[in-house]
Structure 1
Amino acid sequence: MDGPVSAGHVCLLARLDDDVAPEELFHQISARLHLAPILRRRLRMPTLPMGRPWWIDDNTFDLDRHLSAVDLGGSADDTALHEEVARYAAEQLPRDRPLWQLRLVRGLAGRRSALVTKMHHCAVDGVGGRDLLALLFGTDIPPGSPTPAWTPGEGPGRTERFAHRVTDVSSWVASAWRLEGKALGVTPSTLLRVTRQTAASFADGLERLIEHDDRPTPIPEATRTGPAPQTPFNAAISADRAFATVTFPLAASRRLRRCTGVTANDVLLASCAGALRSWLAARDALSEAPLIALVPIAISGDLAAGGFNRFTLTLCPLPTHVGTARGRLAFSHAAMQHAKREPTIPPTTLTDIAAVTGPGLASLLTQAAAQLHLADRVHLPFNLMISNVPAPAQQLSVGRRAAVLGTHPFPPLVDGLGLTICAQGYAGGLDVGVASCATLVPDPGELRDLLAAAHDELIELD
């Protein structure tokens, strides 16, 4: 995912209710590093093209190289904060150290401050990032708890490195064989053909007849084929980013969810559909076909073992073609029910694709796509990513004074996907981050306002 105009890290904005000194932040992180070993590990890159990198302890680890602070002057508003987050998110992580950073933003109005975390997706996904945040800032660990001494482990020896290469080759062959059996060949033309076929066949079963009752109705068969509709944000991206946030109190939609049997995620998807419908219509870009969202789904058990990344992906039609809030909610509920039963990309396939491409080939493909502006000519089978990470089990704070008020995600953007809408539950609310390529969607605040209006329309349904 890292390339000339894209970066593979996940950022998160955590708002604090008080000012925090850099020394306080350093002390808290230093005291809890032992709880998250990934924070002191860096990647060792493979020597073979199909090889996989592996994690080793960083024997030159220095916490100061991962923490930074910026002061916005004392009366900075949300716009200034969002601009700072967008600038920070656009900067790639150095590869010679563990793949994470944390920035303290001071000088906000009301003597408040904020934290911006930056974690590479190869180390954590949304759920893993949430759990990591709880380890570093959870309130269930009393201040002054003993911190064990840390000694970096030795790197792999010659025999272990050789065994690792043998495993890489055998894993590559096995993954390629499985992908071939699933008709996912490794050539770009085949990948494009299959992803388009996947999107088309998935969408064929997900068109809806809307009935104006209180409970979602089944989805009848559809006849739409082809890739996802083209939009202004499905094009080659630049390196510039923009960001906006909004919080939805979960209590506001509780009655709606209880009466209709929908979930908070269904409400989020329907709100996104309503906002995007208005945004596209204002630009004369609204398609008669539904947009297609790429939706991560958390997994558990054996499938999630072995790392912080614990998700699979599915394509879900977004009812931007439906004219009523009630209809969009019914459509979203039924579409996600289907998507959860039959994920478009199972977790084993994600693992196989990662094994076949490898970091070297993936980097070359990303750079080539950006330099050739392929996203302007080859359209992906989805329009945007929408995700929803469940709330952590505890409140978060920096020290005893500065409580975390909200946690807004800023996931990575890739060529062809100039917009993401991601949410994370926290303290009875759903904190939403609208992240965009500033060239394609220069004002995500407009979309944020439309999102709030669409959400209000839903919760006012009888």
Structure 2
Amino acid sequence: MDRMTPLDALFLEAEDEEPGVSMAISSIAVFEGPAPTYAEFAELLAGRLPLIPRYRQKARQLPFDLGPPVWYDDEHFELDYHLRHTALPAPGGDAELAALMARLMSARLARDRPLWEYWLVEGLQDGRWALISKVHHCMVDGVSGTDLYSVVLDPSPRPRAAVPDKWSPQAEPSTFGLTAAALGQLVLTPIRQLRLAVTGLRQPRNLAYRSWSIGRGLWALSEALRPATRSSLTGSLSSSRRYAFGRAEVAQVKEIRHRLGGTFNDVVLAAVAGGFRSLLLSRGETPRENSVRTLVPVNIRAPGQESIRDNRVSLMLAKLPVHLEDPVERLAAVRTRLDELKTDHEIDSVALLTELARREPFALIAPGYRLAARLPQRSVVTVVTNVPGPREPLYALGRRLVEIIPYVPIGSTVRTGVSILSYCDSVAFGVTGDFEEADLAVLVRGVEDSLAELAAARPSEPVS
């Protein structure tokens, strides 16, 4: 039995507080054909299950929030429940694949089972097939979810041997046992907090610097929490989703950053800003400086920790410069803003608050999660995730993985989210919207056009 971290629990609580909202993350892995049979697909997954223990565990919340939710073995685990089989209608193109994705991601994962599903999808154009993975956000974040591809798939066309399975499920813990264990942890909490305080006092200079950095970061974060300019991009959500996606090339993004400056992340965020500018203009709205503030998750794993399956992210709140018409100016504005947020230690502050939450009684934290989920917010307009995927080709049953198309969930009043994922030489970006957002194609086309504009632009002055 394992306990969730407070950040993992946040995604479970957020789903509970928003009827009809699914907090599962997902991606579409497209393969060369021919498609495997369902039996071959099931055999492949069965041979990888020992490497992913969480896939055979269920989540359970404790009474009275005495402790965070726990993971425990599903004694009646059935692989067939989690593996689904479907086919696209003709012609099996991007539109049909996006419609299927929207339908699958509109439904919540059943809480009485392990929180994941894999869909084998046949009928794609050019004889291709797809694997849609759907995993609850309380189990993985974008980085660890993408790393699962390296676990399930093979690094060469020759399939690896199945992993020996010695799994023997432990009995489901009783409510009494869980309650007793949680109370025991509560008794130890003051001792852990005292040790933490003593450690800090033994290193006063380090404590002072960290306190100053955190204070500066929280101040920057508080400034960013001011309401964004009202627009059609925020509002209530239904339980149904729309989905669209586009593509780019890693080489194109790298060429832009080398010529115009900035990082890979700066370039894609500037392109997303251009996409939202196009979307607002198409709706007859004026893009303003404070129209689109985005939550940008930041991976805080140390090198080599990619396989840690829980959520290890901090965040930045950045304004996308949708008010700027010139694409080069938008890129420069994105660079400046992200550099400021890094200097202000906003990422460090959020990361430390998350770490401190792990040391507090969960009964004090859970009500805050629920209150935050219930209160309408006007600060965050969208979420933009950028996850680097595998750099080398992967294979399933000898078939080469061609591309990975990501999906990010949305909640609260955020009606649109953008997820970006690179794999080998390609970049795919998926756009999630509420069902009422019928013009997602405008945003997708706007991102693609913005990248093309940046690729054709020239710097106005030498890049430092």
Pick which of 272-281 and 347-356 moved more: 347-356
The residue type equivalent to 2:350 in the other structure is P
User: Closer, same or farther in 2 for the Cα pair 1:174/1:460, shift >3 Å?
Assistant: farther
- Is 1:69 the counterpart of 2:85? The answer is yes
- Is 1:347 the counterpart of 2:355? The answer is no
The one of 145, 156, 166 equivalent to 1:149 is 166
**1:293-442, aligned counterparts within 5 Å?**
293-301=294-302, 307-341=309-343, 342-343=345-346, 346-350=350-354, 361=367, 369=374, 375=376, 379-401=377-399, 403-439=400-436, 441-442=437-438
The question of whether the paired residues in 1 share the 8 Å contact of 2:321 and 2:333 is answered with yes
> How far 1:114 moved relative to its partner?
1.2
1:215 counterpart residue number? none
Q: Give the SS at the match of 1:149.
A: coil
User: Closer, same or farther in 2 for the Cα pair 1:363/1:336, shift >3 Å?
Assistant: closer
The question of whether the paired residues in 2 share the 8 Å contact of 1:50 and 1:358 is answered with no
2:131 counterpart residue number? 115
The one of 45, 70, 76 equivalent to 1:29 is 45
> How far 1:159 moved relative to its partner?
5.7
The residue type equivalent to 2:433 in the other structure is S
- Is 1:13 the counterpart of 2:31? The answer is no
The residue type equivalent to 1:62 in the other structure is E
The question of whether the paired residues in 2 share the 8 Å contact of 1:407 and 1:431 is answered with yes
1 CA distance for matches of 2:408 and 2:242? 12
1 CA distance for matches of 2:134 and 2:372? 21
Between the two proteins, what is the percent identity of the paired residues? 26
**1:17-416, aligned counterparts within 5 Å?**
17-18=32-33, 19-139=35-155, 142-156=159-173, 161-167=179-185, 201-202=223-224, 226-290=226-290, 291-301=292-302, 307-341=309-343, 342-343=345-346, 346-350=350-354, 361=367, 369=374, 375=376, 379-401=377-399, 403-416=400-413
**C-alpha distance after superposition, 1:406-450 (max 9, x if no partner):** 1111111102001001111101122110111121x2131221111
2 CA distance for matches of 1:322 and 1:445? 21
1 CA distance for matches of 2:59 and 2:21? 19
The question of whether the paired residues in 2 share the 8 Å contact of 1:99 and 1:119 is answered with yes
1 CA distance for matches of 2:316 and 2:403? 27
The question of whether the paired residues in 2 share the 8 Å contact of 1:199 and 1:228 is answered with no
The one of 423, 434, 450 equivalent to 2:446 is 450
1 CA distance for matches of 2:293 and 2:352? 22
RMSD: 3.0
The question of whether the paired residues in 1 share the 8 Å contact of 2:58 and 2:74 is answered with yes
User: Closer, same or farther in 2 for the Cα pair 1:302/1:137, shift >3 Å?
Assistant: closer
2 CA distance for matches of 1:106 and 1:335? 44
2 CA distance for matches of 1:172 and 1:288? 48
1 CA distance for matches of 2:132 and 2:52? 18
The residue type equivalent to 2:72 in the other structure is I
- How many residue pairs get aligned? The number is 412
TM-score, length basis structure 1: 0.81
The question of whether the paired residues in 1 share the 8 Å contact of 2:93 and 2:125 is answered with yes
Q: Give the SS at the match of 1:296.
A: strand
The residue type equivalent to 1:294 in the other structure is L
User: Closer, same or farther in 2 for the Cα pair 1:11/1:144, shift >3 Å?
Assistant: same
TM-score, length basis structure 2: 0.81
> How far 1:105 moved relative to its partner?
1.5
2 CA distance for matches of 1:318 and 1:80? 31
> How far 1:44 moved relative to its partner?
2.4
User: Closer, same or farther in 2 for the Cα pair 1:174/1:281, shift >3 Å?
Assistant: farther
Q: Give the SS at the match of 2:390.
A: coil
2 CA distance for matches of 1:404 and 1:343? 37
User: Closer, same or farther in 2 for the Cα pair 1:310/1:196, shift >3 Å?
Assistant: closer
The question of whether the paired residues in 2 share the 8 Å contact of 1:134 and 1:396 is answered with yes
1 CA distance for matches of 2:222 and 2:132? 38
1 CA distance for matches of 2:423 and 2:394? 9
2 CA distance for matches of 1:155 and 1:58? 7
**C-alpha distance after superposition, 1:120-147 (max 9, x if no partner):** 1111000010111220123268433442
Could you list the structure 1 runs, at least 4 aligned residues long, displaced by more than 6 angstroms after superposition.
172-175, 302-306, 357-360
Pick which of 24-33 and 146-155 moved more: 146-155
> How far 1:196 moved relative to its partner?
12
The residue type equivalent to 2:25 in the other structure is V
